[in-house]
């Protein structure tokens, strides 16, 4: 690039090392370098027929210095003194130019790498933005779905809470009703149990009478059985019997415990008399076998009364008198003091 020329001299500005090397191959008289500004002087015109030998000098000039004829004469005079040093200066200049060229190439490579990195960063930034937008959209959709689900859950929880509150109210009412009904049911059960046992108070339970002892007529047999076992003088008239039968079980084999006989008397007074006589006599015998006469009661009361059997056995062993009242109340007298027990 030519910046200017005056009287056979001009100032060149070169931006690359290759331009400097190319210019140095011309038939120049001298080269003046300051940074990237190069001044060239010719010996004669710029035609191709110049016979003069190229002279090279190195001088520091300020940028855009115009090299005129006076300066050329002074430089020509000093050229003769520095001819021997020109070859060394040229070699040094070439080396410096080579180093500068390598530095510039390195800088160019760095610049290229910087541009590539910048481009990669820009691309990565765009991709990251796209990914962030995509994730944002996905999260927005998912968040909307979660909000909808959460709203439905809240609605369901509120509905369940209301339902639970109503159910608790109903359960409370049912518990109160159950308590009332339970009391009424217990009362009715006691009444039914009492009525059942009252209906059985004319019944007797005979245990120990051998199988077949009644013959063909069990009613006539029992009519004769009570006076024979308890005493004929006690009964002014035969005992009236409404119904009787052995318990509904298989006939036992010989030697086994015979089945009990259930008897319903017509008069309760006869039942009470027979039980009192049996208790007074203690052990009752019929044809060499011991028999027992018990009042017949409901299974529930029988179970309650049977719970006192171990206690009654102990009382008999210690010769302590006792009484078992309806339904199941055990009464004993110890040292003149009466004690009663409803349960063990």
- Same domain for 301 and 291? no
Asked whether 291 and 207 are in contact (CB, 8 A), the reply is yes
Dihedral, CA atoms, 308, 310, 314, 320, nearest 10 degrees? 10
d(CA 282, CA 290): 11
The answer to whether position 238 is within a domain reads: yes
- Same domain for 253 and 309? no
The DSSP result for 274-287, as a single string, is: HHHHHHHH-SEEET
The answer to whether position 334 is within a domain reads: yes
pLDDT at position 78, please? 52
- Same domain for 279 and 301? no
d(CA 191, CA 193): 5
Q: Is 2 helix (H, G, I), strand (E, B) or coil?
A: strand
- Same domain for 244 and 326? no
The answer to whether position 150 is within a domain reads: no
| Burial class, 338, CB count within 10 angstroms (exposed 0-12 / middle 13-18 / buried 19+) | exposed
The answer to whether position 68 is within a domain reads: yes
pLDDT at position 85, please? 55
Question: pLDDT means per 10 residues in the chain (344 residues)?
Answer: 38 40 39 38 40 38 42 48 60 84 82 82 90 92 93 93 93 94 94 90 90 84 87 83 88 86 90 87 84 88 88 86 84 86 82
Of 40, 66, 81, the one marking the end of a domain is: 81
Cα R_g (the chain), whole angstroms: 71
The answer to whether position 338 is within a domain reads: yes
- Residue 71 CB: number of other CB atoms within 10 A? 18
- Same domain for 224 and 291? yes
Query: By C-alpha distance, which of 278, 153, 286 is closest to 208?
Result: 286
The DSSP result for 102-161, as a single string, is: HHHHHHHHHHHHHHHHHHHHHHHHHHHHHHHHHHHHHHHHHHHHHHHHHHHHHHHHHHHH
- Same domain for 264 and 205? yes
- Residue 271 CB: number of other CB atoms within 10 A? 22
**Chain centroid offset of residue 160 CA:** 20
Task: Return the H-helix or E-strand segment holding 17.
Answer: helix 17-24
- Same domain for 303 and 292? no
- Residue 205 CB: number of other CB atoms within 10 A? 17
pLDDT at position 152, please? 93
- Same domain for 52 and 77? yes
Strand partners, 299: none
Asked whether the whole model's pTM tops 0.85, one would answer: no
Q: Which residues span the domain enclosing 342?
A: 297-344
d(CA 232, CA 237): 9
The answer to whether position 153 is within a domain reads: no
- Same domain for 19 and 75? yes
- Same domain for 16 and 77? yes
The answer to whether position 164 is within a domain reads: no
Alpha-carbon distances, residue 138 vs 65, 124, 130, 135, 149 (angstroms): 69, 21, 12, 5, 16
pLDDT at position 191, please? 92
Q: Is 14 helix (H, G, I), strand (E, B) or coil?
A: coil
Structure letter (DSSP) for residue 259: P
The two tokens of residue 19 are 């331009």
CATH of the domain at 308: 3.30.250.20
| Residue 128: CA count within 13 A, CB half-sphere | 6
Alpha-carbon distances, residue 329 vs 198, 296, 306, 324, 326 (angstroms): 17, 16, 11, 5, 6
The two tokens of residue 200 are 């059985």
The answer to whether position 169 is within a domain reads: no
- State how many domains the chain has: 3
Of 81, 110, 140, the one marking the end of a domain is: 81
CATH of the domain at 206: 3.30.70.1820
Q: Is 48 helix (H, G, I), strand (E, B) or coil?
A: coil
Query: By C-alpha distance, which of 83, 15, 67, 76 is closest to 43?
Result: 76
Backbone angles phi, psi at 262, to 5 degrees: -100, 125
The two tokens of residue 262 are 């259930």
- Same domain for 277 and 318? no
- Same domain for 209 and 280? yes
pLDDT at position 86, please? 59
């Amino acid at each position: 690039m030519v910046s200017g020329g005056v009287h056979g001299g001009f100032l060149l500005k070169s931006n690359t090392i290759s331009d400097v090397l190319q210019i140095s191959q011309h038939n120049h008289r001298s080269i003046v370098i300051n940074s990237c500004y190069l001044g060239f002087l010719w010996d004669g015109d710029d035609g191709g027929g110049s016979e003069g030998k190229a002279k090279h000098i190195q001088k520091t000039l300020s940028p855009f210095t115009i090299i005129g004829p006076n300066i050329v004469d002074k430089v020509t005079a000093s050229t003769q003194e520095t001819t021997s040093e020109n070859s060394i200066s040229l070699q040094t200049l070439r080396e410096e130019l080579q180093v500068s060229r390598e530095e510039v190439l390195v800088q160019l490579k760095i610049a290229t790498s910087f541009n590539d990195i910048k481009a990669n960063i820009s691309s990565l930034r765009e991709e990251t933005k796209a990914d962030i937008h995509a994730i944002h959209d996905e999260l927005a959709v998912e968040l909307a779905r979660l909000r909808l689900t959460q709203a439905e859950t809240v609605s369901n929880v509120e509905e369940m809470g209301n339902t639970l509150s109503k159910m608790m109210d109903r359960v409370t009412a049912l518990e109160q009703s159950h308590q009332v009904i339970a009391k009424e049911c217990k009362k009715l059960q006691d009444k039914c149990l009492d009525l059942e046992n009252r209906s059985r108070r004319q019944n007797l339970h005979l245990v120990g009478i051998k199988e077949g002892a009644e013959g063909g007529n069990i009613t006539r047999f029992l009519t004769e059985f009570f006076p024979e076992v308890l005493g004929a003088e006690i009964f002014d008239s035969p005992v009236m019997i409404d119904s009787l039968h052995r318990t509904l079980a298989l006939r036992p084999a010989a030697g086994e415990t015979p089945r009990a006989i259930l008897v319903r008397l017509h008069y309760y007074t006869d039942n009470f008399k027979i039980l009192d006589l049996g208790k007074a006599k203690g052990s009752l015998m019929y044809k060499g076998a011991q028999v027992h006469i018990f009042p017949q009661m409901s299974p529930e009361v029988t179970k309650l009364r049977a719970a006192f059997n171990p206690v009654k056995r102990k009382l008999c062993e210690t010769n302590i008198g006792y009484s078992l009242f309806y339904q199941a109340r055990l009464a004993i007298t110890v040292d003149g003091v009466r004690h009663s027990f409803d349960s063990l």
